[in-house]
Structure 1
Amino acid sequence: MSDTLIGQTLGHYRIIDRLGAGGMGVVYRAQDLKLGRQVALKVLPAGSSDNQEAIERFKREARTASALNHPNICTIYGFDEHEGQLYLAMELLDGEPLDSKLSGRPLDMRLMLEIAAQVADALDAAHTEGILHRDVKPANIFITRRGSVKVLDFGLAKLSPEYRRSRRHLDASHETRIEEHFTSMAGTTVGTIAYMSPEQARGDEVDPRTDLFSFGVVLYEMATGRPSFPGSTTAVVFDGILNRDPVPPSSLNTSIPGEFDRIVSKALEKDRSLRYQTAADLGADLKRLRRDSASRQGVIPAAASAISPDAATVVLPSGSQVAVGSGAGLGVGVVIIAAIAAGVGTYVANRGGESTVTELAQQAAVTPTPLVESPAVNTANPAAPPPAPAAPPAVAPAAIAKPTAPVNGTATARPTGTAPATAKPAAKPVAPAPAPVVSRDAEAMQRLEVARAKVANNLNDQALVDLKQIMVDYPGSRAGAEAALLSAELYEKVGRTDDAMAALVEFESRNAGDRRTADSKLRRAMMLGRVRQPRAQFQARELLGEIVREFPGTPQANAALNTKLKIETDRKNLKEIDPVLKVDVPAVMVTLRTIIEQFPETPQSMAARNRLAATLSAIDRHAEAAQTLEDLGARFPGNPMEVWFRLGEIYERRLNEPAKAKEAYAKVPQDSSRYAEAQRRLSRR
């Protein structure tokens, strides 16, 4: 595409200047002559007008992105064709892409978590609509000058397999071939190799967890400034993606907490069944870490700040000793534990693993060595006070001369007129400083940090013992709740599902008012949902229903409804009483109605209405299906689901209402693949 387009007008957009170019289009700044605003106009590059696959990919980006209405996804204003030139009008952004912001350097922790949380929200919105991005990478994440994040470029997006199977009414030309996710028109890999998931690299079917792996690679790069799977050739990179685990981010950037290591490690699991299952789960962990990091920022633990350098000394190298003032007692022991928890990541990284967390914990148990000799105790009469120190001999007020060195063994000469030199009186014993007061909550959190440090260093068995003890010693505390959740995470990671569920049940029973109860129930339901047994599936649906009823309109309810839909789609024999029709219907219909009720204005509601209409038609409730499509078209006029053509078919073929059929056909947009057919039907008498 030449820059002769500058100054030209496409539709109602006048092109001002060129912003950039890529393999799938050239982007210009343009003026919307109707609304008086500036937009970004993306047009196909030169030579693509005869390439049907490039045209379909361009159209797919327009359809996909326009179906997503989310503050962290670039807004699509329109898609049209002018004299054979396809163009896409979208939101004009002021800022820079994430890859430019990184440039080989890690981001500040607070900024990184803010960006990451917004990207997770955007992916959650796309996945909720059954849309996979398939090319999550820093170049497709844009940071505006006001700090908001926009996910760009849905040109490689496709419908997830489950979503695609549930929408058989879509025209085949709107589908992406299974094999297309691996090779494109030029035989190159679709997506960017360094950010691919193992299943993409193998050419397997992909699902939302594919985007979460790619996002994990981005998280790693934001934290370290380095790629997680480096290599000079495609083969080397693929080998890393398929067979190797990157070193923890905290070993390259000592400001990274162990919890972030855990999040990245889970996102980069080779086995997607062990990976984060939803973007909502990943986003919740990132937001929780952001909250906890903000609460700790700039705050020195009370126990640590109460100890002076002379009161406690911790020497970390192997074989070292710990010397502690005799008055420190238990309080100092707790301080040492906190010091280990705070410094274990940095220390192990800097020493190349010379000492393990176990060694450090053993050092903390060394018997304290007194720095000041304690006064003798009268064992004969323990009640008697210790003897007072002897009074020093009187010293004349005259200055005491410095003694001279003895000569030939003779005594040191003393100047005349001076008092005899006397020994300087011994200093009074210094009373030991009182031990710092550590609250039970602070003590519990310090022990939790030690457990987290062990998790970060893959000492999972030791960490589980510590976490279980914290749950016993501090029931109902924040640390006890965190310990239960972390235990469940570890148990699930090693495949001990029953133990993981038991830890979550304990968390729910002891922390009924905790807002994370919904997350805990959701995790249990997902574990049960993976068990292909009727009883487990029944229990999973019951738990998901509890979440929807107890936490309506929340992200957890959203995730629960989507999981419930998947179970009910797989088990078509499940029936429930429909609250509107008052008859037994497929259970999926009731769940779709709940989505529409709790999330009425969301893209998820748009998809639910679309599927509800198809389900109603399948059980011969065509009038209700037509009404559902009417509502869908009115509420979401820019939807990509061929609503008006389908509605026309129902009125024409099922309800025998030709007038309403013609009204529907007349509303089919010009960019629809069914437009020509709709016009042909309108022209019939």
Structure 2
Amino acid sequence: MSDEPIFNRGELGPYLIERKLGQGAMGGVYLGKHKVLEVHHAIKMIHSRLLADKTAVERFLREARNTAKMKHMNIVQVVGADLVDGVYYLAMEFVEGKTLEQMMRNPGLTVHDAVRYVHMVANALQYAHSRGIIHRDIKPQNIMVNEEDVAKLMDFGLVRDIEPAEPGTEAEQLTMAGFIMGTPQYMPVEQWNGENVDHRSDIYALGVTLYVALTGKVPFPGKSPRDIFRRVLTSEAIDVRTHNSEIDDELAAIVHKAIQPEKDDRYQSAGEFAVALESWWDQHPYQGTSLFKAPVMDETRSRAGLETSGPVSTRAVLTHHSSMNDSAPTASGGGKGPVFAIVGLAAILALVAGGWFLFGNKGGGGNTAPGNTPVVAPPVFEIEIAADEATEANPLAVSSSTFSVPGKGNATLDGKPYEFGSACELSPGMNELEVAPAAGGAGRKLFVLLDTEAPVLDLPVLGELQNNMLPTRENRYTLRGNVSDKGCGLEKLKLELSVNKDNFTLQPDKDGNFEQPFKVENSDLEITLTAEDRAGNRSEPVNFWIIPDRVTLGFTEDWEPEGLWVTTREFDVAGKLTKSRGVVLKVDGTNTPVADDGSFRATVTREPGAHEIKVEAEDWLGGRQSTSRKVFVDLEGPTLTLEAPETIRLKKLPGSVKVKIGIDDPNGATLTVNGDDVKVGDDMSVEIPLNGFGDVKVAAQVKDPAGRGDRREVTIHVLKLEYELIGKNKQGYREFNRLVDDMVMVEVPGGEFTRGDPHGDLQDADPQKIKLSAFLIAKYEVSNKQYATFLTAKKVSAADVAARGWLTKDEEGRYAGLVPDGTTWMPAPGIARLPVVNVTWRGAHAYCDWADPNSGELPTEAQWEYAARGTDGRDYPWGNANPTNALANFFPNREAIVDVQKYADGASPFGVYNLAGNVEEWCLDWYTEGSYRLPDQKGTDPAVRELPSGFDKRVVRGGSFLSPIAKTPKANIMDTDPGNLQAYARARRLPDTGAVDRGFRPAAGVPAE
């Protein structure tokens, strides 16, 4: 029964078979999952063709029994075995990992790696040997390294018990079933002999394994088992240090002691071997680590008895003088040590050449030499080489200088006695061997061509390879080359081509030229070409890859940084190419690796400012692409400034205000003002629309491409423009035009002055020093036109005016100087610039409040007197001289009021007109007798705003056109008496009365700048 049907069936006993792991000589190995435990095991089955072979079955079962006895962390554990449906299987621990041989190839081993893995196996062997089990096939392929980096010894298929089998027993037959069991490169002399194999044979194989792990080479190289055995017997192992300069003298001594040809010269136990490795490791620790220590043995652990300097040598068997002189071998295998006679060597070499490995043939007599029974010559003389071979026309080509003639009978070779199968030496080139019967008679001349050189392959493509790869855009490729062989020539030469494991045999022409076309589709092609001549010399394989590459080199748009704006001196430039294989990339002049998907990333350093980073790519087909990335390095975010007036006054709406914006670093910045985008430039003034009076907020925000930014906010107070600066008057004081009523307002600066009668004539105006803040006072008295504008703006009718008590009517029942038309008022024709009269205190105050709702009012007594007299204490606005017709309108020079803008010569020190005569003017204060005795009439900005007890009249000042000249002002003026013209004189009037000679002028606070 084949194991394939079971694999196809998908199960074996308690296991579900998932896939095949490998195939060996005795059967297949599969990955199985236990149905109940749900764990994976490696299932090894004996091949159906071996089921009838009792020896093979017993070897299979012995592996199971012996391995099952062992439980060690460095040995692959057997977990079960059974016979199911006629199939023997062995269930083992499933080790996921690589063999030591695979580890040597990829990723490769350091010296410490090799020592560490071999040390683990040495511990495993010490454990096995202590239980009487010898492995007999130690080699890198039988050592697994799992995913936890632990080495495990496996494949105990050639194990045997240390105790020798009893003659004639089944165990002895099993041991003798094949002539030579093991792997040639790892077999010591005794294993080649097939006798006296013990635990030290495993130590030899482990030493070779360490040698190979350290160097990738074997100590006794050879092209065939026969070559290997000959070298083991006749030459020294190549010094391990010649292959790897990193191996020191001490480690070399450890290796070569393990592979000594004589068992007594090797380490006597695997534990001793492990101790030697531990000692070396202690002297050469790796990053502070140490090896797991083997049990301490009787021998010293310090240096394990090793030499540490000088060349390392091993003794070859045939150089042992006592072997040659004192103990000549006999037919029964007598003599000392593992020494063979040349005939014994030739016999074993013949077996090796015949392929007697592992199981051998079943008819042989085992590994021991024949007994002492004399050999009876056959009755015939026979050379077992075909008649048409080894002729002059068709010489027999061989690659080894050691040659044996197969045949039967007694013979001579070149006239000397010769035993068929024994070795003879050939010379390079053609050899003619005369082989004849020993008893005489016709013989045969054999032509044997010794050719030790392999064929030579010459492929022009090798000069075009890049990292062992040949890129191409084409869909087809033709492999062309030449093969030559100086020894055997081209006859019967085998030229084998492998394309992705598909094999082809090529036929070169008579000159050795050959070519082979094949398709190149979308997958990589692995090309392997070897040549073998008829002597068996095989060339080193020529191996390379053909890579289809039909992608045009270019850059994608996947760039970093996307905005080409970075905030650190050191930053990454990242991008992506359309391809990765065969591309050489330089970023900023530095070679940069490219990932499989074409992406790349490089770190560059730049100082703040604008930079250009060059990116260049070239592929293996000669395609070139380059680009530049403009990058701006900005270590700090932008800072914003706003310049805007805190207050703005408008004559009318709508209006606008200009806000100036500053950015310390405008490169790449974006700006928004009140949510609207603003272009960043040299002039970043923004007009902010103003659609109403009040507070207007202006919010500006700037951001750079990195998202850093600044935000500023200002509040602008939007006010109605009430006062417009005209300039300075003749007296040097600022004047403003109040827009609502077109009144010129004079700024009177603050200061201290002494008010009252300086002459002591008036009892209600004693001198008093006070202090005033700056204020505005009307340059002129309020005219009819201005008062008509007020009444119209207030949308009042004549009846409303009467009801509010703003004006009193004249004798004719009219409002003098004013003409109402519903709620529209006009000045009477021809008298628009005359002062309005018949105004009550309430009507005057209402006008002041309308003209300036914020600070408008009637002037206080103190303000009025200060505006009229100044600080020098004069009697009249123009000075101390008596009034004249050029200075004022007074009685009896005039019989009526005059234009408010007349009498410029009579202006006060501050440039205020008609503060004496024309019309008397309402003041803010309530009148009090007995001079300025109330608290409100003292200090800074005195004013009697609240009605004092016992008083009911308001103050008027300045006199009128009805006031006579009086050098001494009249005291105790009655309510109906005209007022005095002196600027310090006071008069009192009922607030709800009006008169033809009474008007007013407004005052207000000084407007803000």
TM-score (norm 2): 0.28
Greater CA radius of gyration, 1 or 2?
Answer: 2
TM-score (norm 1): 0.41
